[in-house]
Amino acid sequence: MHRWKTIVEPFRIHSVEPVRFNTREERSSRLQQAGFNLFGLRAEDVLIDLLTDSGTGAMSRDQWAAIQHGDESYAGSPSWFRFLDAVRSLFPFEHVIPTHQGRAAEKILFSVIGGPGKVVPNNTHFDTTRANIEYTGAEAVDLVIAEGHQPQVVHPFKGNMDVEALEALITAVGAHNVPVVFVTITNNSGGGQPVSLANLRAVRAVCDRHGLPLFLDGCRFAENAWFIHEREEGQQNRSIRDIVRDIAAVADGMTMSAKKDGMANIGGWLAMNDGELAAQCRNLLILTEGFPTYGGLAGRDLEAIAQGLNEVIEEDYLRYRIRSTAYLADALSDVGVPVVKPAGGHAVYIDARAMLPHIAPLRYPGQALAIALYREGGIRGCEIGTVMFGRHPDGSEVPAAMDLVRLAIPRRTYTQSHIDYVIEVATWVAERASSLRGLRIIGEPPALRHFTAQFAEIDESAAA
Ligand code: F0G
């Protein structure tokens, strides 16, 4: 049978949102006003917003319909039970604690199990996870395999944990100082790269040897399951649901942002089997989020997530999702823009350090590239590099492992022509790469500086 090359979106458009066009001059002045921090822009001044895939996706007809069934009862709402069933049908943990988003789950969990002297390993901590751990005085350690730090090296499961390094860390610091081992699926900060079932099971074995619980940061679990379906031996004929259940079966709990593979605009959860831990977490939940049958969510949000969890594991959706991300990565690679290979699930990561060798890491090549994509084409991406990870709790600043610009693709939101435009703009910028300038930071907060830091462009001719 003939295989068509065109990626046909497995939906048609039912309701549209306008986007606004502006000029390069207007964008230049918006950049000045925002202190060259793209988080400081008004979204209306962005044409194609690839800042994040978090909460920015389009909901389906059936999700909007489910919202009408939202029951806002304070306790024991039917919407809560639909949510609970949907979560448990994929992740059968005993205790499910709804939160308003992923970081709320992290905050609650680490408030209970973190603290000075504790060490939490992960393949790569997402920035809010790291910040929530460090806020308690604990240490967050990244242990992704070596390939995960090499943008050009192709490996089917670049998000895998370095199991030997994990074993060595636990032995060095003592298992009693490790409250939990985390694995992030997919590994967002490392390029949206998947973790294999085999690796999860190897991590499980290490945890078992030391009597440690294993938790998943499950934000993009369905995309990770699709990669397992496509790339891991013996998984091709299995359903996504079964693969997700296998993933869940290795873990003792999870944190989740439903703004990603929950296909919702808000929401999350914390789940676990340990009843004592769950009781402590629920006490904090009541303090900060809400009653345990709604957390920080409205009943209608619980409905949207419950329906979203059914849709995100559909094969037609996942095939389109992963292929369309690869389409952008391949096109950029073809015109010589260095991208992290292979393409991740939710985003394409441009290797700004390789693209802009004339800008030193401490002059933020990722930020320089993100600014250029906005100035030239109204595209908003996100620096994932030295701005995000360079400042350490002791006040020192060192270059991050990589300087990337992430173009995150909101789910079911942009068409192929939007993406073709992104390719055109990125090509234009790449052809003028040597004219891009580095930046210096002129103001930054004590933590999570990338959200609010203010920058100034460095005039190299003046510096010379
Ligand atoms: N863990 C991972 C792997 C994430 O990617 C995120 C959010 C979180 C936890 C926190 O979840 O936003 O619901 O509080 N990532 C978004 C992003 C913000 O753009 O990658 P949240």
Q: What is the pLDDT of residues 16-37, one digit of tens each?
A: 999 999 999 999 999 999 999 9
pLDDT at 463 over 50: no
Beta strand residue intervals within 342-413, DSSP E:
347-351, 379-380, 382-384, 404-408
Ligand 1 pocket check for 224: Cβ under 6 Å:
no
Tokens of 408: 């995150």
Tokens of 31: 């950049």
DSSP calls for 216-231: EE-TTHHHHHHHHHHH
Say what the pLDDT of residue 401 is: 87
- Please state, rounded to an integer, the average pLDDT across all residues of the chain: 96
- pLDDT (tens digit per residue) in 57-100: 999 999 999 999 999 999 999 999 999 999 999 999 999 999 99
Separation of 153 CA from ligand 1 center, angstroms? Answer: 25
Q: Name the CATH topology of 61-311.
A: Aspartate Aminotransferase; domain 2 (3.40.640)
For ligand 1, atom 19, name the residue with the nearest CA: 52
Separation of 380 CA from ligand 1 center, angstroms? Answer: 17
> Interior CA angle at 76 toward 74 and 77, to 5°?
75
Contact 354, 153 (CB under 8 A): no
DSSP summary character for residue 158: T
Ligand 1 pocket check for 184: Cβ under 6 Å:
yes
Q: Where are the domains of the chain?
A: 24-53+315-463, 61-311
Q: Which residues pair with 440 in a beta bridge?
A: 456
Query: Between β-strands 379-380 and 48-49, what pairing exists: parallel, antiparallel or unpaired?
Result: parallel
SS3 call for 141: strand
Say what the pLDDT of residue 460 is: 65
Separation of 373 CA from ligand 1 center, angstroms? Answer: 23
Ligand 1 pocket check for 259: Cβ under 6 Å:
yes
Block residue for tokens 């693709």: 409
The closest alpha carbon to 292, from 126, 84, 16, 7, belongs to 84
Ligand 1 pocket check for 258: Cβ under 6 Å:
no
Q: CATH for 24-53+315-463?
A: 3.90.1150.10
Which pTM was predicted? 0.95
